[in-house]
Structure 1
């Protein structure tokens, strides 16, 4: 390899990261400014905002925008897509590990290990994260009660939603909803 070729490759990586960073800068700034204004009145929401900003600043985020390197021992792309689609379509029901493994024609134990390699988390944690995101979407876009949203997300009740939501985001669903609504009002004003 020519000496200049490695430098160009490294330079391209830095340019890609700088482009991604520039796209995220305004969002990070907005999140941090909102956190600063809320730290006195609602510390848990402020912490959630800082967590969101830190996710956008992670160096590996640049790699996620580009091509994904295939994971050794993980699921094949068709298997990943089939599992993701099935989970999204069935968030409101119980989803078993056996169902997911059968969907992609793997044993339960092999599927579980391959899933973890492909998604960097267990199937259970992935399903929980998707349910939390679905709950966020529902809270932001409807006036449904948290009980209804919990059931629609495949959770047993509002308390179950509150437990997993707080664990995932650092804030309660009602605090998150209040903040989300206040942001919409501030943007619309």
Structure 2
């Protein structure tokens, strides 16, 4: 009986073909035999919750599984959905925010790099330097000197003073 209703037989074929893994389309009828699966995305409240939680706890370590649980999702689904919603993985987003925070501290304070690293949630100065250099293309010390308008050859405050003295005739 359903075979006499226009389109129903075609729709049943689509379901059968998609269940069997077939991926052809019937150009004459306009029916696609397989629909691409929807990419998982987070609801706006989940994006806000995840981002705010990571920002509030920037200097401390928060696990991605804790974020997933707070959004009421499995870990793997959360990571895929976050990446589809934001454009990068939760960990990459967190590292980007830590580097952004470190740049503010590098500009506005004279804190040592090791202190800035810990203040921004990096394990140590080495980890901070590695991530910063990967994202910014230069080390934090060189970035700070360039931002302060110092010579890139300076080795620190005392080193710059000595280098400037040597250049003065």
What TM-score comes out, normalization by structure 2 length? 0.64
Deviations 1:14-43 (A, max 9, x none): xxxxxxxxxxxxxxxxxxxxxxxxxxxxxx
1:137 aligns with 2:126: no
Deviations 1:88-113 (A, max 9, x none): 11110112111110111111111011
Runs ≥4 residues deviating over 6 A: none
Give me the whole-angstrom Cα distance separating, in 2, the residues matched to 1:151 and 1:177. Answer: 17
Give me the whole-angstrom Cα distance separating, in 2, the residues matched to 1:164 and 1:88. Answer: 18
1:75 aligns with 2:39: no
Partner of 2:54: 87
Partner of 1:151: 118
Partner of 1:107: 74
RMSD over aligned Cα atoms: 1.6
The higher radius of gyration belongs to 2
More helix by share: 1
- Aligned length in residues: 113
1:179 aligns with 2:123: no
Select between 163-172 and 123-132 the one with higher mean Cα deviation: 123-132
Partner of 2:136: 169
Shift of 1:73: 2.3
Structure 2 runs not aligned, ≥5 long: 1-37, 151-169
What TM-score comes out, normalization by structure 1 length? 0.57
Give me the whole-angstrom Cα distance separating, in 2, the residues matched to 1:75 and 1:180. Answer: 37
Shift of 1:72: 5.4
Of residues 83, 95, 118, the one that matches 1:116 is: 83
Give me the whole-angstrom Cα distance separating, in 1, the residues matched to 2:66 and 2:105. Answer: 26
**3-state SS in 2 of match to 1:110:** helix
